Amino acid sequence: MTKITSMQVAKRAGVSQSAVSRVFTPGASASSKTALKVRAAANELGYRPNVLARSLITGKSRIIGLIVAYLDNYFYPAALEKLSNALQKEGYHVLVFMASNDHQSTEQVIEELLDYQVDGIITASVGISSNLTARCEAAGVPVVLFNRTQDGKSHSAVTSDNFQGGLTAARFLIQGGHQRISYLGGWEGASTQRDREAGFRDGLAFAGKQLFAHALGDFSIDIAKQAARDIFSGPRHPDAMFIATDHMAFAVMDVLRSELGLRVPDDVSIIGYDDVPPASWAAYNLTTLRQRSNLMVSQSVELIINKIRDPQVAPQHIKISSPLIIRGSAKIPEGWST
């Protein structure tokens, strides 16, 4: 079988080769009459445009690289789907790469993405150094951090307001009358973990309280379960816990109820963070802080597209508020208001 060319399509449709190119180029101008003739001819001949060849001519691949560290948290598969759909509506294809949380792994993945001549990179749940960001910018490839940030202003980032979320969780538990309030965090190198814990500690300190117990679950279900067993192994255990992600909160609730025979919230109040779909299931009914992924995605896509179109656009750090979604896993303070 011989490969059908745009010249053959143009001849069949009775138009110029440049008209064929415009019809199959996202954002290019072509009349509806021309587009109908060209697409009809392309279908008859079995023609498909050569996107790679076009990218060599234009210098634009129309590909955005997405980097993610893990997918076991319900939040990220849903967010990646929304990012992919939003970028496709803008005429971009998506190339997904997995990376671990360490900078060496992220650097290797970004080097590969640069080899693919991507037009931009969005990292989800992955930290990136300022030096690496600068190298991407020097190569003409803008970077947006999704649900992560780094110190400095050399990059754009979109996150929920993690500090304020931690502060709200602390106020809710304090006003609920809890005395032995504990925290289970994520991976210590993550900005989300750092900011949620900082806000939570500040909220406790404002009320003259300190953490009763503290542990890190590394955003892992198994590690979170073991952390719960350790924290609740003594004669006195927490009467409330703020847990940095919902999927770790589910793991802790399973241990408390199934292994230790404790009742949620009668014996222990639990607050999570993310508001992923299982949080509303009757089995968990989790009180949690909602990451507004639709807004986070739309802001991230807008930032990366604007930067691709105009490399001189200044980086932005965008924080989106996380409302507390009150369900049944934590005692509700009388007269609670945000």
pLDDT at 56 over 60: no
281, part of any domain = yes
Q: Mean pLDDT in the chain? A: 88
Q: Are 231 and 284 in the same domain?
A: yes
Residue 331 lies in a domain: no
**Residues 14 and 135 placed together within one structural domain of the fold:** no
- In a domain? residue 96: yes
Confidence of residue 172 (pLDDT cuts 50, 70, 90): very high
Residues 223 and 313 in one domain: no
Is 198 found in the same domain as 280? yes
- Whether residue 191 is found in the same domain as residue 273: yes
Which pLDDT belongs to residue 278?
Answer: 95
- Note down the domain range covering 170: 162-291
What HEC string does 40-106 produce? HHHHHHCCCCCHHHHHHHHCCCCEEEEEECCCCCCHHHHHHHHHHHHHHHCCCEEEEEECCCCHHHH
User: Which of 112-116, 199-203, 310-314 has the weakest average pLDDT?
Assistant: 112-116
Q: Is 328 within a domain?
A: no
In terms of domains, do 273 and 313 share one? no
One domain, residues 136 and 202: no
> Positive or negative, the Cα torsion across 20, 26, 29, 35?
positive
pLDDT at 102 over 80: no
Task: Give 318-329 pLDDT, tens digit per residue.
Answer: 999 999 999 999
The pLDDT of residue 196 is above 60: yes
Q: What SS3 class is residue 162?
A: helix
Give me the DSSP letters along 105-128: HHHHHHHHHHHTT-SEEEEES---
Count of structural domains within the chain: 3
Q: pLDDT value at position 206? A: 95
Residue of 79 and 110 predicted with greater confidence? 79
Residue at 326 is within a domain: no
Mean pLDDT, residues 64-91 taken together: 88
Residue 69 lies in a domain: yes
Residue 65 lies in a domain: yes
Residues 124 and 182 in one domain: no
pLDDT more than 70, % of the chain: 91
Domain match, 190 and 271 both: yes
Share of the chain above pLDDT 90, in %: 53
Confirm if 146 and 158 have CB atoms less than 8 A apart: yes
Give me the CATH number covering residue 213: 3.40.50.2300
Can you give the pTM of this predicted structure? 0.82
Q: Is the pLDDT of residue 171 over 90?
A: yes
Higher pLDDT, residue 57 or 83: 83
Q: Are residues 128 and 234 in the same domain?
A: no
Q: Where are the alpha helices (DSSP H) in the chain?
A: 6-13, 17-23, 32-45, 51-58, 75-89, 103-115, 130-138, 162-175, 191-206, 221-231, 246-254, 293-309
66 and 37 share a domain? no
- Whether residues 23 and 136 fall in one domain: no
- Residue 113 covered by a domain: yes
Quick one: average pLDDT of 100-128? 78
pLDDT at 54 over 70: no
pLDDT of residue 51: 61
User: Identity (one letter) of the amino acid at 292?
Assistant: R
- Residue-level pLDDT at 103: 64
